Each structure stands twice: as C-alpha cells, then as structure tokens.
Amino acid sequence: MLAEADGTVPHGSDSSMRTSNINNNINPDSSIVISKMEDVVIPFSSEVPCDNNGQRMWWAFLASSMVTFFGGLFIILLWRTLKYLWTVCCHCNIKNKEAQKVNNPANNQPADRALKGPDEKEEAPASEVGWMTSVKDWAGVMISAQTLTGRVLVVLVFALSIGALGIYFIDSSDPIESCQNFYKDFTLQIDMAFNVFFLLYFGLRFIAANDKLWFWLEVNSVVDFFTVPPVFVSVYLNRSWLGLRFLRALRLIQFSEILQFLNILKTSNSIKLVNLCSIFISTWLTAAGFIHLVENSGDPWENFQNSQSLSYWECVYLLMVTMSTVGYGDVYAKTTLGRLFMVFFILGGLAMFASYVPEIIELIGNRKKYGGSYSAVNGRKHIVVCGHITLESVSNFLKDFLHKDRDDVNVEIVFLHNISPNLELEALFKRHFTQVEFYQGSVLNPHDLARVKIESADACLILANKYCADPDAEDASNIMRVISIKNYHPKIRIITQMLQYHNKAHLLNIPSWNWKEGDDAICLAELKAGFIAQSCLAQGLSTMLANLFSMRSFIEIEEDTWQKYYLEGVANEMYTEYLSSAFVGLSFPTVCELCYVKLKLLLIAIEYKSEQRESSILINPGNHVKMQEGTLGFFIASDAKEVKRAFFYCKACHDDITDPKRIKKCGCKRPKMSVYKRMKLACCFDCGRSEQDCSCMSGSVHSNMDTLQRAYPLSSVSVHDCATTLRAFEDEHPSTLSPKKKQRNGGMRNSPNCSPKMMSRHDPLLIPGNEQIENMDMNVKRYDSTGMFHWCPSKDIEKVILTRSEASMTVLSGHVVVCIFGDVTSALVGLRNLVMPLRASNFHYHELKPIVFVGSLDYLRREWETLHNFPKVSILPGTPLSRADLRAVNINLCDMCVILSANQNNIEDASLQDKECILASLNIKSMQFDDSIGVLQANSQGFTPPGMDRSSPDSSPVHGFVRQASVTTGSNIPIITELVNDSNVQFLDQDDDDDPDTELYLTQPFACGTAFAVSVLDSLMSATYFNDNILTLIRTLVTGGATPELEALLAEENALRGGYSTPQTLANRDRCRVAQLALYDGPFADLGDGGCYGDLFCKALKTYNMLCFGIYRLRDAHLSTPSQCTKRYVITNPPYEFELVPTDLIFCLMQFDHNAGQSRTSLSHSSHSSHSSSKKSSSVHSIPPSNRQNRSSKTREARDKQKKEMVYR
C-alpha cells in the first residue's frame, strides 16, 4: 500500500505543470517538491533530511513488520523441529532409563532420605529451580494482576495503548506518508516512547509464555508486530507512514480483563456487558482504520490513481451506517480493496447488531479454551484440584493456599472439572493465571488425567460439596474419584474431603490407599463434631483452633476494643519447623519456655520417630522427653519466617540477643554430640549442677556408648530424678553392672510384663497402690480395646430414655445438652464423633460430663447404634423448641448447650438452611429462670496438677466453697450453634453490630465461641498439603485420641470394642487434654490482677507442666466501668507482657493426673449433680480443694444415687 498527499496536488493537473518540473526546479516560495515520477507524489521539505525525496517508501515500513513476524515464526518452528528430532534420536536412551527405574522401584530412596537431614530436604527443591525458571516466574509475576506491581504494569500498558491510539487519531488528519523530523515532531517522539515501552512489555510476555508458538500468533503479538517496528523505521528514514497503527484499537478488547484484574467487575452480567461493548467498539474502530488507509492510498494495480480523500471520522461514519444497514450513500468506498473489505464486513456488522450472534462469533473465532494439556515446568511442582469446583470453593481454597504468610509457594494449581467455568470463576482464574490453570474434563476419564499430568503431580486434592442434599452420594462420588486416580497412578498422593465419618471406611478398601505415604481423608463431620465437643470442655476452643489452622492476615486496630486483642490472636497460625541442635538434650518444657521467652514462639508439640521410623506426635509431653537431633516442632506464630528462629538458634551466637528478629543463620559449625553426652548435659541441666559436680553418672555407662545409642534414641527419661535415665539403661543391660548393683536392683526387672522403657515412661501406672493398679481388673472392661475411650457394655435405647418428669427429678447439673433437629429421612450427623472426645480415657470417670440428647426419638434410634457403648448418655424425646423439655433437663445448669441440625441441606434457600438452629438459640436466650435453686455451694470441678496434695487446702486455688447466684436468664447459658450458611451468623446475636457481608471469623458470635460453621474447615486442605502432620495434630487435639488403627476397627464393626485393662492400654490414658484455668483464686491469683501473661506461662509450665496457649476474656474487660455482659472472646497466644485480669480463663494443655481419681472413682453421679458449682466453676477446671461432702442428708444421697445408677447404667 502506498500513501499520497491528500489534496496537495490534484491528480488531474495539466501537462504544463508536469513539464515545468521535469528538471526538478524548486520554487523558493513553495515548500512542496514534486517528483518526476508520475506515481510518486508525497510532500517533503528542504528542512527535513528525507532520503529519496518525493519517493514513497511504504514497503520499508511493511517489510519491517513482515520480517519481524515471519522471522520469529521461522525461528520458533526451527527450534521445535530440532527439539523434536533430538527427542526422536534419544528416545531409545530414555526408554532404557525408564526400564531401569521400573526394574528397580525402590531406587534406594528410603535410605537416601534417611541419610539426609532436614537442611538437605529443604534445599533440594530450591536447587532444582534454574535461573531460567526464576526469570520466567519473575516475568510472569510482573505481567500478572496478582501483585500490586503486576496490576500497575497491566493497567499502564492498557493506558499507553489507548494513548497510542489517540496519537493515531491526531495523525490521521495528516497525509498517509510524509517526511517528518523526529527531533521536531512532538507526537512522533511520544509515539516512539510508547512503543519502546511496548517492546519491553512484549519481552516480558515472551519470557513468561509457556507456549511460544501460540504466543507469537495471538492478537496482542500481531498488534505489536505491525505497530512497533514501523516507528523505528520512521526515525531512521525521517518519514512517517500512518499504515497499520489503527490496530492499537484491538487493545480495547482487553478492557473487561483490566477491570477484572482490578476487581471492579465481579458479576457475570457486568463482565458480559463490558465484553460486548469493548468488542463492538474495537472492531468498529479497527475496520474504520483499514478503510481510511486503502481509500486514501488507492489500489496498487491501479497505480494508486483511484484514491479519494476521506478523514478517519468519515470512515467511522461509513462503517456505522453500513453495519446498521441504513447506507445513505453520501460516503462510500471507491477502491476495489475497500469494497471487497466492505462485502465481508457487512456480514460481521449485521451479526454484531444482533443480540446473540456476538457470542457465536466469539466461540467460532476462538479455539476451545480449556481443552488443551498441561505443560509441566521444570523445577516447579503442580497439584491437581478436582471435585466440587465452584466460585465459592475455589476462591476459599486459593485464598488460603496462596496466602502471603506462607513461604514462597512454588506450586502451580491445575483445576480439572467437567463443566466450563462461568464468567465469575473465569475472572478468578485470570486474576491468578500465573499459578492457576483450568482444564475441562473428568478425573474418571484416564485421557483427562493424562492431560493434566497426574503422574507427575505432587498431589491431587478432591473438594466436596458441603451443602449437598445427599452426603452419602457426595462421598460416593469422591470415593469413585479416588479409585479412578489411584487406578491410573497408584503412587499419587490424594487428599480428599469426606462428609460422613462412616464413609471413610470405604477408602481403606482401595489397595493403593496408604495414609503412611501422605494419603489423607478430611472428614468434615468428624472434625466439626470434634471442634464442638472441645468447646464443651473449654468454651471458645473451637474458635481458637479454627483460627490457628486458617491463614488470616493481620488487621491492625488502634482503638482499645475487644476486636483489637482478638485480631492480634487471629493472625497466629500453626507452623512446623525442625529444632536447632542447640536444643538437643533439653526437656520439652525447657525448650518450650526458651522458645516463648527468647524466640517469641509457642511450641506445643513435637514429632517423635521410633527406631522403626514410625512417627507419632506428642502434645506437651512433659519432662520425660528429651530433644534429639532433627526433632520436628509444632509452633504457633504469626509468620512462617518467625518459625525459622527455632531452626537457626545458636546458643553461642544468640544467647545474649534480646531482639528475636536478629536471630538468623550463623556460621557456626555445630558438631553432633553423642547420645551419652547429650543425656549427661540434660541430667545436669535438670539437677541444676555443673557437669563435674553431677553425680548422676554411672561409671559402667561410659563403656557402653553403642548400646546406649541403640537403647535410647529419643533420650526418654523418668520425671522423678536425673539419675533415672542412666540407671534405666543400666537396668536394661544387667550384664554391664557389677555384682553389687545386680543385688541392689533385685529381681524387679525380671518380670516379663515389666519393660524398663515402660517403667521410665509410665512409672505412676505401675506403682502398687495407685489407682491404675485398681483399674487393672481382668474381669471388668472399663475402656475400649485401644484404651483411648471410656467404654461400657451396650445398652438398649429404652433404658436411657427419660421422660420429662424423670429428667426433672434427676436434677442434672454440669452436663452437656445436645439439641438435635432431625427425623427419619434426615442424613445422619454422626453423633459418635461428638461423644467420643467427651469420653476420652484421659478423663477420670467422675470427670465425665453427662450428655443428654433432646430431639426426635426416631432420629436418635438411627444414631444409637454408634452410641450404646458410651457411659453417662441419656435421651429426652422431644423438640429443642419446647421450653418444657429444656427446663426438664435443667438447661440453665448445663456446662454447654450444643445445637445441631440434620435438616440443613434439604432447603434450597441458603438463608433458611439454619432456621431451626437459629430459632432454638434465640428461644434459649430468651428464657427466664427463677432462683429456686438458690445459692449453689459445691467444690469446683476441675483438675489438680500432678504433685499437688489434694488434702491440703492451701495448695488449692479455691479455698472452701464458691458462692455465686445461679443463671436466671438464658442469655448467660453457654451455647454453641452449628451453622451452614456463614451469613446467618448475624441472626444469632441481636445486640451485635456485625455487617451481613462481614467474614465469619470477624463476627462476634464466632469470636466468642458461640457459633461454628463447617466452612472454617476448608483451610485444612491447604494446611494438610503443605504439612501432613497438621491434620494428625488437629485430629489428636479434637477427636480425643482417634488413630488409624481405631478407624480400621470401626470399619470392621462400626462400634467400639471393649477391652480389659492392661499396662499397655492404661498407658494410653497418659496424654494431654485441653482445659481452662481460672485466675480468680488459687496459686495464680497473684498474677491474675495485673500480672503478665508470660509470667503465668512460665510458672504454669515449670510448676505443673501445663502449657498455656490462650485467654478466654470477658468482652468488656477492657472497659473502666463494670459491665453486666458475660460474653467472652478468644485471645490466641498473647505476648509475654500481656496484662491479665482476674476474670480471665486460661486455655492450657494439662497433663494426665494419675492421682485425681483415687478418692472419687466410687462416687455416683448424684453426688456431682448435688454438688454442682456455678457456671464459672463448673465449666472451668480450677484446682479443687480437698474432697468435701455437702449433702443435705444421707437419705437424699441414697435416693439420688439410686436414681442416677438407674439412668446411667
């Protein structure tokens, strides 16, 4: 195409004018020079150094674009051809290598992993990432809208493209081709600057592209090819050609994407509207630019003589009247190229005016968006996410998985679903396109599994529909997905969500399912019930645990409100990190105190690996566990970087550092101490004496280093004295002892049932006269076969049913009321998961809270098969909406009221799914109770720390009796309500000011622990992927001790099996449990009034081995004036200097007290019901006084005892 000066020299000029310019004479009064060539008529000035004056050079501009496009295309195709030939040539070698891998499946990987330390395990993935991948990732982040820099860059590119289009509009009034001086033409300079920026942005897009060929052929690339190179040619030739610069109008198509990147467009209707408008306008302006070019240039075969002078805006007008089929005829195309273009454009213009044709054109013009295959990137892992893929589930998953508090997440997320995403979900994918890809297909199809490279995926995550009407059908679908994936690739790690607990048993039938290799099933019903059950033991714990296992960003509030302290705790999460070698040989409480005081980290558990490399998680194990090399710790912290302090800590370099932020990796070489040396230092540390003065050592041990290392890999020692550790070793190897020592030890260790390791670990269990010896009755089954739960022979449901009058006569107190909505057709909730944590064996029998179910008897009959082996369970047939039933079970004296519903998913309207639970909660809160019970006098229920004498009143925080008025209003009854729809939480509290759009964790009912929604468990998918120990830890905390072995047993019988008490099963009782410690009286009362939380933490840890991890504080405790509000909220992991108030309740992990049940095992429940304390003392575990009787008369005691035995046996 050529250009000419519009109207400067008429085509019909006479021959005399041409003859007068044959000799190229220049008229001094005119700045226009006409060439002797008839077909060359362009304006130029003598002041502009324009080469080949008067000759058209449009071909140079066009050639620069064509050479760039086809040259790059040739290089890409050549590279692909060479790569293909190389692959074909080396195919045999690759096959041989793969055959060797198949023949040697072990590959010595376990041995290699065993030899590698934690440092090498962490550095291995980083070393695989090359600099090319790093540059590619950096470029991808720069051009994406995921980060602030990426959003700014994307918006800037779009704005500059519109600016370049504006410059084209200005230049369109000038001739198509003319000589221009770059140094004097301001618009050309601006256009040059814009195109330099476009060139740099093109380079970033090229680096970040996975498929270079497709990138080279996409629209934005073609636009750059035909707009950027001509600008550089213009500078070189000192002339400009309007040419194809109108293609910049195609950038308007991305207008909707820009608005999506900025989160301006969120609804499908708005996205669709902006899409249609941007496509229409960009097509209109681009076509007008083409007509303007050809009409002002003419046809090449006509020697450019049939051109006409049309402005750009006249061309815009021409196309509009053409598309609208009006066609006035005042402006029309004269050139053949223009008319030919108009013929085809009319078809498109008519279609764009219709309401449905634009969508058809878009589908026809674009390839299938989600039908390709995933291309793996070297050095970067990817996971496959399938199952229930919706906007809500994906957004919740990505928000937690890609949270900024995690370390650099070098993982690409591939979503696979058989339905293409809607516009809202597609917009979400585009906002995270550097780390998220979507493919349309089904995991039940092996071809689709091959497309997403499931064999090379790091894991496969299966999401479940929590709101489905048929949970069993949803679980069956996910189980089929697991079967299909495992059938295609048995070694793939799978993490799946399950709705019903009993369906987990079907996963055990899959041969390749192996939980030891990372396969996990997150049962939402089990964890939901476990969270709620823990709230019955320590109100507010469900909120604290849910926040710990969810990624929350820190929200800073300057005002001194309860939200400030709550949100400071919300920013804490659970992390794992290997402990520094500086902690080797120290006891767990010592390391825990050092981490909290020195490193500002809260260590709550460690991972223990036995000699058989079987790992188990020990939560606050106590003094008997000594740290070994490479111990994995579980920390509560606000950032993953903070936890690195535990790994980098060096006593030599960091001992005098007060600012924990300065604790970083040092250059010290830390030699590994022998096991014997570590044990000796640990003993001396416990004794408080120097190594030379310590008399713990036995001379015979020095000569048995190798035997010692084999015998004590974890340095597990007794809690009584420092000498027990080494003497236990001597006792286990009598051949190394002298004859005198053999005589001194006698024959105690000769019993085949008396293991020295068991003696050192569980000494209190085997001491004669201890309560545990009394429990070892071979004719009575008190616990299940695993020793983890209290057990009783199965009872018929008719024996536990209470009438309303019987319940009123029972005088229940300190119990748990479970209000359940359901009928014969309702899906089972799984009440066993709620009862099991309340019947854990680390409670003594007298500490078990009675459980009363209030609901439909038809529904409870269906659940009773899983409940008939638990003691102290009764049923009151009725409805939770009946106040008479609620008064009959003394709901005003309960420790917790749980409101559940099995009918929630049967309602389509989301706002009505929780109507029953909300009505029941409001009904209870509006109830009024008289003070007929009067002032309660009772010894508080709770625990006494090990080592504290119960008979001494001075050792108890509660001296004498607690006097407090009983509950007279339902708003003070502790309630936890299960919700399905998060937004319905606004209806639970009428006095809060929560906005309906507020996230659940920011609402007052959730912060106070009175509401729980299953949606908070979504974050466990991400947490389990990054660390499979997290799920084990949370299940250990909330289920009361459920293990994979127990799940296998339940899969066989669907019921707990009773077992006789043995030292091994009784040893399982010795495990931590969560409790709440009151500060209003007792040994910690001096710290309760203005003391520091850190001092309380250290005192509780040193004195009683209790690990504090949070506060349950009154909502208005920060106010200077007294308040009648009894609501409390959760504060997670407060800082050391946090000020305490007397009304605070402290969340703590307490050790099992072997002596707590000695004098109470024979007490019936009637004594507890008649001695129930007030709400605070009954729900809070205070250190009780000596056992006192407060009965009105022996006759009443006998009557109550007889009644209770009838109900609970």
Residues 1085 and 1198 in one domain: yes
Task: Quote the tokens at residue 39.
Answer: 């077909």
The per-residue pLDDT for 53 is 54
- Count of the separate structural domains present in the chain: 5
Q: What is the phi/psi pair of residue 540, to 5°?
A: 95, -10
Q: 473: pLDDT confidence band, cut at 50, 70 and 90?
A: very high
| Residue 873 pLDDT > 90 | yes
For residue 677, being part of any structural domain is answered with yes
From residue 208, alpha-carbon distances to 80, 132, 203, 998 in Å are 18, 10, 9, 37
Residues 387 and 363 in one domain: no
> Which is more confident, 274 or 368?
274
| Residue 804 pLDDT > 50 | yes
| Residue 530 pLDDT > 90 | yes
For residue 1043, being part of any structural domain is answered with no
Which segment of 291-295, 491-495, 678-682, 1036-1040 scores lowest on mean pLDDT?
678-682
The per-residue pLDDT for 264 is 83
* Burial category of 592 from C-beta neighbours within 10 Å (exposed 0-12, middle 13-18, buried 19 and up): buried
> What is the percent of the chain where pLDDT is above 90?
27
The per-residue pLDDT for 1170 is 32
Residues 1084 and 1005 in one domain: no
For residue 550, being part of any structural domain is answered with no
Residues 734 and 826 in one domain: no
Q: 984: pLDDT confidence band, cut at 50, 70 and 90?
A: confident
Average pLDDT over residues 260-264: 80
> Which is more confident, 595 or 757?
595
pLDDT tens string 383-432: 999 999 999 999 999 988 988 877 767 899 999 999 989 999 999 999 99
Average pLDDT over residues 836-864: 93
Of 367, 402, 434, the domain-final residue? 367
| Residue 1189 pLDDT > 50 | no
Residues 885 and 998 in one domain: yes
Judge contact between 592 and 623, C-beta under 8 A.
no
> Which is more confident, 418 or 46?
418
> Which is more confident, 966 or 1184?
966
Rounded to whole angstroms, how far apart are CA atoms 1048 and 504?
A: 10
The per-residue pLDDT for 519 is 92
| Residue 581 pLDDT > 50 | yes
> What is the percent of the chain where pLDDT is above 70?
72
Question: In whole angstroms, what separates CA 499 from the centre of its chain?
Answer: 18
> Which is more confident, 209 or 723?
209
Residues 825 and 895 in one domain: yes
For residue 488, being part of any structural domain is answered with yes
Residues 687 and 734 in one domain: yes
Task: Quote the tokens at residue 106.
Answer: 């072990």
Q: 1198: pLDDT confidence band, cut at 50, 70 and 90?
A: very low
The per-residue pLDDT for 43 is 52
Of 518, 534, 557, the domain-final residue? 518
From residue 653, alpha-carbon distances to 204, 349, 663, 667, 1005 in Å are 44, 75, 9, 9, 46
The per-residue pLDDT for 181 is 73
3-state secondary structure 173-224: CCCCEEECCCCCCHHHHHHHHHHHHHHHHHHHHHHHCCCHHHHHHCHHHHHH
Residue 712: CA count within 13 A, CB half-sphere: 36
Q: How far apart are the first and last CA of the chain?
A: 100
The per-residue pLDDT for 629 is 86
The per-residue pLDDT for 986 is 86
For residue 806, being part of any structural domain is answered with yes
The per-residue pLDDT for 92 is 57
Residues 355 and 394 in one domain: no
Task: Quote the tokens at residue 837.
Answer: 């944590």
The per-residue pLDDT for 149 is 81
The per-residue pLDDT for 253 is 87
| Residue 635 pLDDT > 50 | yes
Residues 728 and 830 in one domain: no
For residue 272, being part of any structural domain is answered with yes
Which segment of 272-286, 554-568, 772-786, 1137-1151 scores lowest on mean pLDDT?
772-786
| Residue 990 pLDDT > 50 | yes
Average pLDDT over residues 720-742: 37
Strand order in the sheet with 459-463: 436-440, 411-417, 381-387, 459-463, 494-498, 520-523
The per-residue pLDDT for 362 is 60
Q: 102: pLDDT confidence band, cut at 50, 70 and 90?
A: low
Burial 893-927 (b: 16+ CB within 10 A, else e): bbbbbbbbbbbbbebeeeeebbbbbbebbebbbeb
The per-residue pLDDT for 26 is 37
Residues 612 and 665 in one domain: yes
Which segment of 219-228, 383-392, 621-630, 723-732 scores lowest on mean pLDDT?
723-732
| Residue 1133 pLDDT > 90 | yes
Q: Which residues constitute the domain of residue 977?
A: 793-934+961-1018
pLDDT tens string 1031-1088: 888 888 888 877 777 777 777 777 788 888 888 888 888 888 899 988 888 888 888 8
Which segment of 565-574, 624-633, 1182-1191 scores lowest on mean pLDDT?
1182-1191
pLDDT tens string 1004-1026: 999 999 999 999 999 999 999 98
Residues 881 and 1014 in one domain: yes
Average pLDDT over residues 1161-1184: 36
The per-residue pLDDT for 54 is 55
Provide the H-helix boundaries in 380-523.
391-401, 423-431, 446-451, 471-488, 504-507
| Residue 1199 pLDDT > 80 | no
Task: List beta partners, residue 804.
Answer: none
The per-residue pLDDT for 1008 is 92
Of 316, 341, 367, the domain-final residue? 367
Judge contact between 611 and 713, C-beta under 8 A.
yes
Mean pLDDT of the chain: 75
Residues 717 and 600 in one domain: yes
- Which CATH number does the domain housing residue 495 bear? 3.40.50.720
The per-residue pLDDT for 1181 is 42
| Residue 1093 pLDDT > 50 | yes
Average pLDDT over residues 884-902: 93
| Residue 203 pLDDT > 90 | no
| Residue 469 pLDDT > 80 | yes
Instruction: Tell the residue number behind the tokens 């108890």, with chain if given.
Output: 956
| Residue 363 pLDDT > 90 | no
For residue 286, being part of any structural domain is answered with yes
The per-residue pLDDT for 95 is 59
The per-residue pLDDT for 551 is 83
Rounded to whole angstroms, how far apart are CA atoms 379 and 725?
A: 47
- Which CATH number does the domain housing residue 341 bear? 1.10.287.70
Average pLDDT over residues 275-282: 83
For residue 1102, being part of any structural domain is answered with yes
